[in-house]
Amino acid sequence: MSYRSKHRRQQFAKIQHQQSGGLKQTLGTTPRQKRRKGNQFRLPDVHQTVKNTPEYSLRKPSNESNHVLYLADHEEHFNNQPCDAKNTSKLIDRHPPEGIQNIGNTCYVNSLIQILCQTPSLLEIISNNIKRSKEAHSTVTVTRALQEVLQQDNMSIRIRHFQNIISRRVHDFSIGFQNDCHSYLLAVLDELISEDTAGDVLRLFEIRMKEEFRFGSCSHREVTDVQTLRSLTIPSDSHTVENGLQELLSSEEFDERDVPCRTCKNTGYSKTVKAMKFCQLPLILVLQLGCFREDTSSGSVTYSLFGVVNHHGSIYGGHYTSYVKHLTNREEDFWYYCNDSYVQQISTRDVLHSNEAYLLFYNRNM
């Protein structure tokens, strides 16, 4: 980093700190841009499995990892508030993925729906919300339409109805136009959350992160920004999920004279350290991959990968497909490749060797 670049970042930190805004870090809304060859994300190779679930660990070297995602050393608590979500060990068997007709550039819809159909806990929460709405005589149009889709019966017809409802509420998602799967996911969640009086959908996906300053000349810590998110965006200059998450949580140092403690006003020749920390972790973790951006230990939690949305093409257009794990009560779960109406059972190795992964869906292990 050049002296000029470093100086600008310190000045920006000083201004933002004084305004109580902290240093903003984009974590879920950056537009997807075209990825460079040789700078694509790689899912880790599988070398072993634990309880038939591939594992991926932030604590292990990459050559020992196999893909349950470990998030360790978060500072506060998991999202353990009451929720209608159940542990995956209590899953009712779902139908394997079925092909879904593309009704006009709707591959981004089909790819997401295939994963939502296998998302632990979501169907039960939606069903309970519909029951509550009947008792309260309220309208839950989007929730009811999505429930019909997730029942996996006449999906192509039901998805058209669901998509018509979404496009009336969010005009960006009209049938016939290409669109971004991540933006669509956030729009669907917004609609479900707005109809969910119990807040269970929000608790299923909600991530809370705080931005904290630690000062070298005193023991004070200052939280300047708490962000509520529904997905995390992994920087494009990281080649693995592991490196991307480590970069999001990495600390940054500034001269304490530029960013002093506002409580005791002490300044010296020590450093002020800024870091992002998890305040709350969700039951379902969504990671968005491949977006460019500008140039303590109180517990751990593990997540198992169960869905991948792939994007083939560039920012100007392309096609979406998905890899979906068929979650059952049997000892072995199977992966499926879903490309609109075409569905094929595949191996875990096929999933992990994908160079086109765009969204990763993880379920929290209980």
Q: If you write DSSP's letter for every residue of 34-88 in order, what string do you get?
A: PPPTT---BPPPP--EETTEE-B-SSS-GGG--SEEEEE--SS----S--S---G
List where CATH 3.90.70.10 sits in the chain.
31-206+298-364
Give the per-residue pLDDT at 23. 28
What is the rounded average pLDDT of the residues 256-283? Answer: 83
Q: What is the structure's pLDDT at 257?
A: 74
Backbone angles phi, psi at 119, to 5 degrees: -80, 120
Class assignment of domain 31-206+298-364? Answer: alpha beta
State the average pLDDT over residues 339-350.
Answer: 93
Q: Which residues pair with 276 in a beta bridge?
A: 211
- The answer to whether the beta carbons of residues 229 and 29 sit under 8 Å apart is no
- Which pLDDT value is given to residue 161? 92
Residue 121, by phi and psi: left (phi above 0), alpha (psi -120 to 50) or beta?
Answer: left
Residue (of 344, 325, 321) closest to 107 by Cα position: 321
Query: What percentage of the chain carries pLDDT values higher than 90?
Result: 33
Are the CB atoms for 176 and 107 separated by under 8 Å?
Answer: no
Q: What is the mean pLDDT of residues 87-113?
A: 79
Q: What is the pLDDT of residue 81?
A: 47
**Per-residue pLDDT at 207 exceeds 90:** yes
Question: pLDDT grade, residue 101 (50/70/90)?
Answer: very high
Locate the DSSP E strands across 121-236: 207-215, 221-229, 232-235
If you average pLDDT over residues 54-66, what whole number do you get? 34
pLDDT tens for residues 28-41? 333 334 333 333 44
8-17, 44-53, 59-68, range with the lowest pLDDT = 44-53
Judged by DSSP in three states, 21 sits in coil
| Cβ atoms of residues 86 and 249 within 8 Å | no
167-187 pLDDT per residue, tens: 999 888 988 899 999 999 999
| Contacts (Cβ under 8 Å, ≥6 apart) of 10 | 254, 255, 258, 259
At 243, is the secondary structure helix, strand, or coil? Answer: helix
Rounded CA separation 306/139 (Å) = 31
What's the CA gap between 257 and 236, in Å, rounded?
32
Q: Is residue 330 predicted with pLDDT exceeding 60?
A: no
- Output the average pLDDT for the chain: 75
pLDDT category of residue 156 using cuts at 50, 70 and 90: confident
> Is 248:27 a contact under the CB 8 Å cutoff?
yes
- Please give the residue that has the higher pLDDT: either 354 or 55: 354
